[in-house]
Chain A
Amino acid sequence: MIPGPFSYRRATSIEEAIALLQQYGGDAKVLSGGQSLIPMMKFRLAEPAVIVDINRVPGLDTIEERNGLLSIGGLVRETTLERSPLIRQRYPIIADTAEVIADPLVRNLATVGGNLAHGDPANDHPATMLALRAEVVARGPSGERVISIDDFFVDTFTTALAPDEILTEIRVPAPPPRSGGAYMKFERKVGDYAVAAAAAFLALDEARKIVRAGIGLTNVSYKPLRAEAAENALLGQAPSDELFRAAAELAAQAADPTSDLRGPAEYKRAVARTMTFRALQKALSRAQAA
């Protein structure tokens, strides 16, 4: 398990990184935590000629709330996210997500930016960010642009990022009152990618009706999915197990998984339903406690 030949460049500023990417064009790959890229190179599924290491680029590893937004730097490690008091208290759905990614060794290196930029429908953050209606900030030769999460995932391993763009930040709307979210993942064993997983986010109005609903699904389609019909079914309703079951059923119908060693498609759809239902229940209990 030895990668093919490649050369390694280390950038110390975002400008330098972008310049390197421009210089090598499609032959170069950004290296963040390396926890997806390096295994793919070892199996020779990816053979980039050049690796541009952005780990020394300053300013990409902060977590802060400002102007009603949570800002997560592209290089924030999963471990940092998992342990951040801000995340744990205000955004438990993100802590839920970080905690079930791989294992502690991987999480010490893996980054949130890499997790989204990889465009892998099996990764866990995309569903959560879809449920939260996040935005992705990208920097390229012509400056910065903000991409809605709904436009970000294009295809398996393909995102809206251009080859010379770097994901610098993820922005998440701060939680409204009476809101809560949860991420529920079913995996065959710890460290595994999800058989299916669901992120659910709910906000209630003063009459305890649902005014915002977000549901994202992991590993049940060619790209991360937002279960729109399920979200719509929740809006304006009073939460109940019955309602959640109906929404979970709609989410399962939106899923389009393929059969593999994690199980037949039908099974994955059922797990997506179970996870959606349980995530909604947990999101509700958090919203009620908020």
Chain B
Amino acid sequence: MTTTPIRGLGHPVKRKEDPRFIRGKGTYVDDVKLPGMLYLDIVRSPYAHARIKRIDTSKALAMPGVVDVITGAELEKAGLAWMPTLMSDRQMVLPTERVVYYAQEVAAVVATDRYTAADAVLAVEVEYEPLTPVLDPFKALEPGAPLVRPDREQKTNHIWHWEAGDKEKTDRIFQEAEVVVSQDLYIPRIHVCSIETCGCVVNYDRAIDKLTIWMTSQAPHAHRTVFSLVSGIPEHKIRIISPDIGGGFGGKVPVYPGYVIATYAALKLGKPIKWIEDRSENLQADSFARDYHIHAELAATRDGKIRAMRVHTVADHGAFDAAANPSKFPAGLFSVCTGSYDMEAAHVAVDGVYTNKPPGGVAYRCSFRVTEAVHTIERMVDVLADELGMDPAEIRFKNFIRPEQFPYKSPTGWEYDSGNYPATLQKALDAIGYQELRREQAERRARGELMGIGISTFTEIVGAGPSHTFDILGIKMFDSAEIRVHPTGSAIVRIGVQTQGQGHETTFAQIVAEELGLPVENILVEHGDTDTAPYGLGTYASRSTPVAGAATAVAARKIREKARLIAAHLLEVSPDDLEWRDYAFRVKGSPDRFKTMQEIAFAAYTNFPLGLEGGLEAVCYYDPPNMTFPFGAYVCVVDIDRGTGQVKVREFLAVDDCGTIINPMIVEGQIHGGLTMGLAPALFEEIVYDDNGTMLTGTFMDYLLPTAVETPHWKTDKTVTPSPHHPLGAKGVGESPTIGAPPAIVNAVVDALSHLGVRHIDIPITPAKLYQLLVEKGVAE
């Protein structure tokens, strides 16, 4: 019998992946070095919109060490000048006629070393004829606006219109409502900024006719399928390996032109090719997030009961719709914008627009536009409270979906699985001393000081998703796990999702440990290699635990069912006489007669009953019955420096509810990181273009990532409301804090100025922006 503790669910097991990272022994794509490898570097456009008149590669080709220069004309002959996006749009790999955004890929250089490649990029001569760029999505929709995409049949910059909810009912309520508030909100373009940039190493082995691609992919299987469809190479001849990944955050879901060019070059030249972006390329050309221009309205009664919500949004997608949303959701899950509040009706409409900016619209640490949705509702509730002179906590209590209303059908069609919003908010208010803070605020106001308290009580929607609704390029959004228990009682688990820092190697081992009663250290979790891992859609949108975590639990339970038969055989009783208790199969009524999984595993190879197959393994492809709906209550306290406009976050408390917790230490780590990533867009980050469409924020000098110095001390707490439909009751947590934090911070800043008539400020609330407001309100120092 094993004496090693199991350490299943609920244990703060230290991360299995950390020893190799701490020692600098991780393997990232740039660590992959193959004999004879060549280096690819990319020539990029200095214009946001221009016709290409001529590309002269001769000087570059003449440089010693330069092996090849690839242009769009060459790719066109191979049928690879364009590639499909995950949103059924198409995107240029390399242009043949025109460039449509600043820093767009124009040509690629292959050289024997990185330095020569960088020099050769400058030697490629490109003659451009600049065209007028369209940068403002509203202007892009005006008649006569220059066309971003003349290649399309529809001669307009409008991509799609999408809506949800009941328009007629919503309009009717707005007509008769006692109070209506409306607000424009802009959620600016930001970047995921994973510390590891994108890149790949491609090797085509002629001898075995196999293409192997090491790439920074959050979804290796989906990428393999796309590569196979685009190239015509049979899928079993392609192997994608996603090794250690230095952050994904949604930015490593799309396929970038560099991957396609590198693959083409490897096939053409018969040599391994490495392509790694530098920081500026990553910031300038890779997928952005957000960029939503929102007009939102709430209809309410005079005593503060919200009746309906109406939202219209213009979504700037850049030059190609290269978001990575589920197919049926071009605006992602934005329709969850009614949030934690019970209302009679809602109507949400979104229009996607092309502009001369890099393509994207990825779900940056967010389950497909939920950040935008939560920002909208959490701001609007405060706007309404301000209109009615109500306390922001009071208006929330008044409008929360009540615990007994779950499962709750939202007015835009979602079924919220479980929640207890009032309890979570009450816990947060008590812990932070809300009434005391309000008293302090009144005193400070009397002295002319600016202090604000902000609340955000968000609801997330994660775990995409049920196959009846969710697919990407037709592939259903199930996920998978494969477990094999070895004779001596250790096990290997292979999963279809891909860790990028979330700690899958630890948490998924804990799930199996819990379900099978094997110590967590004896369970190895593998992922990211399409030749060995089962097919899955990958990690983003907080879907790993809700979907692949469920698959792992279910696969483990299948193993347990087989183990029961073996245990019955060993104990010479009927399977029905056994119960699984305290990590062993025990004979009902005589719990001292039992078999552990370790004993059973050995028997599965050495002494299994006649008629049963040997071995102990199982597979599960889990199709979730519903999404899960994590939620939380965040309270933020800020002070404003009247001499500089700087916001200081004095205190921040996050009470999260993500259902059952697998590893509390990892959950806390996810929350700390997520809150910091929520602080970033609230106060710091924004991608800025000048009037020509040149990006001004192409380095970390100007694209401002907050550091530990800017980050306040995060206080965290939790409530636990398990998901009723998930095998473990778990809901997913990675993205809640990124989503919940920005409105808490903005609400606090606006609260600090509300007595001066300030009702809304767009993010990022930079010191310069805030100081201007202080000047306008006559309170600048």
Contact = CB atoms under 8 A, between A and B. Distances in A.
Q: Are these two chains actual partners, yes or no? A: yes
B707 A278 contact: no
Nearest to A264: B768
A94 B644 CA distance: 23
Contact of B781 (A5, A192, A274): A274
A2 B115 CA distance: 7
A188 B767 contact: yes
Interface in B264-323: 278-280
A271 B278 contact: no
Nearest to A2: B118
A189 B704 contact: yes
A264 B696 CA distance: 15
Given A270-B780, A274-B781, A189 B767 contact: no
B710 A262 contact: no
Nearest to A1: B278
Interface in A260-290: 261-264, 267, 270-271, 274, 277-278
Q: How large is the interface on B (under 10, 10 to 19, 20 to 34, 35 or more residues)?
A: 20 to 34
Given A2-B118, A186-B646, A261-B696, A270 B704 contact: no
A188 B701 CA distance: 10
A195 interface: yes
B643 interface: yes
B772 interface: yes
B44 to A, nearest CB: 13
A4 interface: yes
Contact of B644 (A103, A186, A192, A264): A186
Contacts of B781: 274
A1 B280 contact: yes
Interface string B107-130: 000000011001100100000000
Contacts of B767: 186, 188, 195, 263, 267, 271
B710 to A, nearest CB: 5
B707 A190 contact: yes
Interface string B672-714: 0000000000001000100000001100011011110110000
A191 interface: yes
Contact of A189 (B115, B122, B280, B706): B706
A191 B705 CA distance: 11
B709 A1 contact: no
Contacts of B646: 186
A260 to B, nearest CB: 8
Given A1-B279, A267-B768, A261 B644 contact: no
Contact of B697 (A5, A261, A264): A261
Most buried by B among A103, A191, A270: A270
A44 B122 CA distance: 11
Contacts of A190: 707, 709-710
Given A261-B696, A274-B643, A189 B768 contact: no
Interface string A180-207: 0000001011111101000000000000
Interface residues of A, number: 24
A231 to B, nearest CB: 21
A278 B643 contact: yes
B702 A4 contact: no
Helix, strand, loop or mixed for chain B's interface? loop
A5 B119 contact: yes
A103 B705 CA distance: 14
B98 to A, nearest CB: 26
Contact of B772 (A267, A277, A278): A267
A235 B433 CA distance: 50
Interface string A240-273: 0000000000000000000001111001001100
Most buried by A among B114, B705, B767: B767
Most buried by A among B122, B644, B775: B644
Given A186-B644, A274-B644, A192 B704 contact: yes
A57 B466 CA distance: 69
Contact of B771 (A4, A103, A193, A270): A270
A189 B115 CA distance: 32
A219 B121 CA distance: 34
Most buried by B among A44, A262, A267, A278: A267
Given A188-B684, A188-B767, A261 B702 contact: yes
Given A261-B697, A270-B780, A274-B643, A189 B118 contact: no
Nearest to B771: A267
B181 to A, nearest CB: 30
Contacts of A263: 766-768, 771
A191 B119 contact: no
B242 to A, nearest CB: 25
Interface string A71-98: 0000000000000000000000000000
Interface string B708-749: 011000000000000000000000000000000000000000
Contact of B684 (A2, A189, A193, A271): A189
Contacts of A271: 643-644, 767, 771
Interface in B359-400: none
Interface string A32-47: 0000000000001000
A188 B704 contact: yes
Contacts of A192: 701, 704
Nearest to B279: A1
A240 to B, nearest CB: 17
Contacts of A103: 707
Interface string A1-25: 1101100000000000000000000
A267 B775 CA distance: 10
Nearest to A277: B643
Interface string B770-781: 011001000011
B706 A2 contact: no
A278 B781 CA distance: 12
Most buried by A among B645, B688, B707, B780: B645
Contact of A188 (B280, B688, B766): B766
Contacts of B118: 2
Contact of A4 (B119, B701, B704): B119
Interface string B621-651: 0000000000000000000000111100000
Given A4-B119, A189-B709, A262 B684 contact: no
Given A190-B709, A192-B704, A261-B702, A2 B114 contact: yes
B775 to A, nearest CB: 8
A76 to B, nearest CB: 24
A189 to B, nearest CB: 5
Interface in B475-504: none
B64 to A, nearest CB: 12
B114 to A, nearest CB: 7
Contacts of A278: 643
Contacts of A44: 122
Contacts of A262: 768
A191 B645 CA distance: 19
A211 B644 CA distance: 30
Most buried by A among B118, B280, B696: B118
Contacts of A186: 644, 646, 767
Most buried by A among B114, B684, B696, B701: B701
Contacts of B706: 189
Contacts of B772: 264, 267
Given A103-B707, A190-B710, A271-B771, 18 more contacts: A1-B278, A44-B122, A186-B646, A188-B766, A188-B767, A189-B704, A189-B705, A192-B701, A195-B767, A261-B696, A263-B766, A263-B771, A264-B768, A267-B645, A267-B768, A267-B772, A270-B771, A278-B643
28 contacts: A2-B114, A2-B115, A2-B118, A2-B119, A5-B119, A188-B766, A188-B767, A189-B706, A189-B707, A189-B709, A190-B707, A190-B710, A195-B644, A261-B696, A261-B697, A261-B702, A264-B768, A264-B772, A267-B645, A267-B767, A267-B772, A270-B775, A270-B780, A271-B644, A274-B643, A274-B781, A277-B643, A278-B643
Ranked 5 nearest A-B pairs via Cβ:
A263-B768, A274-B643, A2-B118, A190-B709, A267-B768
